[in-house]
Amino acid sequence: MVTANPEFPLTGPVASPSLVTRLHELVVTVDHKKLGLMYIASALVFLVVAGLMASVIRLQLAFPNNHVVAPDTFNRLFTVHGTTMVFFVGMPIVAGLSNYLVPLMIGARDMAFPRLNAFGYWMFLFGALLLFFSYIGAPGLSGHGSAPDVGWFAYAPLTGRAFSRGNSTDYWILSLLVSGIGSLASAVNVVATTFSMRSPGMKLMRMPLFVWLMLVVSAMMLVAIPPLTAAQIMLLLDRFVGASFFDTQAGGSAVLWQHFFWIFGHPEVYILIIPAFACVSEIIPVFSRKPIFGYAVMVGATVMIGFISVSVWAHHMFSVGMTSVGNTFFVVSTMLVAVPTGIKIFNWLGTMYGGKIRFELPMLCCLAFLFQFLIAGLTGIMLGAAPLNWQLTDSYFVVAHFHYTLIGGMLFGIFAGIYYWYPKATGRMLSKRLGKWHLALFFIGFHLTFDTMHLPGLLGMPRRIYTYDPGRGWEIFNLISSIGVAFQIAGIACLAWNILRSVRKGEKAGDDPWDGWTLEWATTSPPPEYNFETVPVVRSARPLWDLKHPEDPDWKYE
């Protein structure tokens, strides 16, 4: 006779675990899917927080001579907004997507180092909390300072002991240092997983483009984040033990900080945008019912972007007074980026050309992404030309440009990814009606805010100013920009409600709602902890196509 073990009851209904049990489960988990969702959920929370900060900034700038917040509060707002969006929204979304999807797409049961993976997540979260804790903690014993107010790239000498009293800058440094270690852990993990955990037959050139792009992003992180860490260590030494790396009075160089920061900073913006490329490269083929156009060229273009990205940093510094040789080099290398990026855009168009396009939500996001990213790229080329850059640098034109890439490009790509993979992660579809509201509202809001924002920049409005006098011709554009924010907030509210509501009430998705071709659609939705009961064997770049069309499989043509 079998004796019933109280911990594993053989019969009777299984009680659903208590809240404490479930929270405990989140804290101790090393499962790549849970960690991936935790990354993405945290990123979305920070997106809302930093987005609300941006709303206050826009409120302050809506009218001339406005005083919604105090000037020093305003400086903290744009600093924490920028830092949060780059490091605690962009980076965890990269880590979250790659964590959740890379093992599933290559037919692995987990990442190469599950515990390192959990370590990475908690370092990221700790870093983020350090930044926000600065509001309370930074005054410390001296009573000076609050949240950091030096801008997200923290130029010297603003960060020097003399100009940044209290501990606000120290919190900024430590926050990025700690979360940088987390990002490195995640990057090492993704590279090791892609090289060492692929299921049989999954050769490198059979991997989904998503995996390829995440591999390149992770490799870029490996070489881009350590320079930031190094510069942060130097700044800490300056601030705490009296070193003089960036102290101009002792012969140090403030420009050196700019170089070190942007050696990290420019690869960083590609690290943020390439995951959007990754989502788009998976979604456009599936919704055009055609394999990706020019797979090998797409891989090559991505690797090329990775290499070029580490040689363009000083295009952020044209106005600092480099030699004309230096300026020319960085103009040319910057222009060079347009080549692989253009290849990508043409390949996405080539994939859609002649395809049987289904206008589902993910595809709608991709279409918006395509032309918005194109415009963002064009203003990028304008800013990459040194003479025009001298005129436009540090103006609202720059602000409009990079928000166009990061919202119009990255965020729309991420939206596409959320609509596409949400059914896989939860087993439920997102509501199509709410989704259309979200896209329509956000699309209108985005264009109201950021199309208009280019114009005050061209008219000479500097970035980061607290307020401005009437009569410069900036008023109407600033007002329209600020009105757009209301639409964006409404749109994001629709998305948030949709995500929360559909977990329980969404339509059941099934394993493969989009008729996809990559391995994540071969397992159940949501996937079991072990991902695949038996490790799949792969014979082409579209394993599920082969399976669904045994009469005409892809591997016949490879």
Residues that bind another protein (CB under 8 A): 112-113, 184, 187-189, 191-193, 195-198, 200-201, 222-227, 229-231, 233-234, 237, 241-245, 250-253, 256, 260, 263, 511-512, 519, 521-523, 532-539, 543-544, 547
Residue 224: its H or E element: helix 209-241
From first CA to last CA, the distance across the chain in angstroms is: 57
The tokens for 466 are: 């607290």
* In the block, residue with structure tokens 């510069």: 231
Contact 363, 287 (CB under 8 A): yes
CA-based nearest residue to 349, from 285, 275, 416? 285
Beta bridge partners of 8: 5
- Residue 210 or 532: the one with the smaller Cβ distance to another protein is 532
Q: Nearest approach, Cβ of 138 to another protein (angstroms)?
A: 24
- Residue 217 or 499: the one with the smaller Cβ distance to another protein is 217
By three-state DSSP, how is residue 161 classified?
A: coil
Q: Nearest approach, Cβ of 260 to another protein (angstroms)?
A: 6
Contact 35, 182 (CB under 8 A): no
Q: Nearest approach, Cβ of 16 to another protein (angstroms)?
A: 27
* In the block, residue with structure tokens 């903690």: 137
Residue 529: alpha-carbon gap to chain centroid = 26
- Residue 11 or 196: the one with the smaller Cβ distance to another protein is 196
Cα within 13 Å of Cα(544), Cβ side: 18
Q: Nearest approach, Cβ of 262 to another protein (angstroms)?
A: 12
d(CA 179, CA 186): 11
Contact 296, 207 (CB under 8 A): no
Contacts of 486 (CB under 8 A, 6+ apart): 445
- Residue 67 or 548: the one with the smaller Cβ distance to another protein is 548
Q: Nearest approach, Cβ of 523 to another protein (angstroms)?
A: 6
Contact 315, 266 (CB under 8 A): yes
Q: Nearest approach, Cβ of 184 to another protein (angstroms)?
A: 6
Q: Nearest approach, Cβ of 226 to another protein (angstroms)?
A: 4
* In the block, residue with structure tokens 């395809």: 355
In 392-513, DSSP assigns E strands to none
Residue 96 burial (C-beta neighbours within 10 Å; 0-12, 13-18, 19+): buried
- Residue 265 or 491: the one with the smaller Cβ distance to another protein is 265
Length of the chain: 558
Q: Nearest approach, Cβ of 266 to another protein (angstroms)?
A: 14
Q: Nearest approach, Cβ of 130 to another protein (angstroms)?
A: 21
- Residue 200 or 342: the one with the smaller Cβ distance to another protein is 200
- Residue 244 or 467: the one with the smaller Cβ distance to another protein is 244
- Residue 45 or 222: the one with the smaller Cβ distance to another protein is 222
Q: Is residue 157 reached through a cis peptide bond, with omega within 30 degrees of 0 on the bond before it?
A: yes
The tokens for 60 are: 């302050």
CA-based nearest residue to 158, from 246, 96, 92? 246
- Residue 310 or 357: the one with the smaller Cβ distance to another protein is 310
- Residue 169 or 193: the one with the smaller Cβ distance to another protein is 193
User: In angstroms, what CA-CA distances link 113 with 8, 192, 425?
Assistant: 29, 8, 21
Q: Nearest approach, Cβ of 423 to another protein (angstroms)?
A: 15
CA-based nearest residue to 466, from 77, 187, 150? 77
- Residue 403 or 539: the one with the smaller Cβ distance to another protein is 539
Q: Nearest approach, Cβ of 220 to another protein (angstroms)?
A: 11
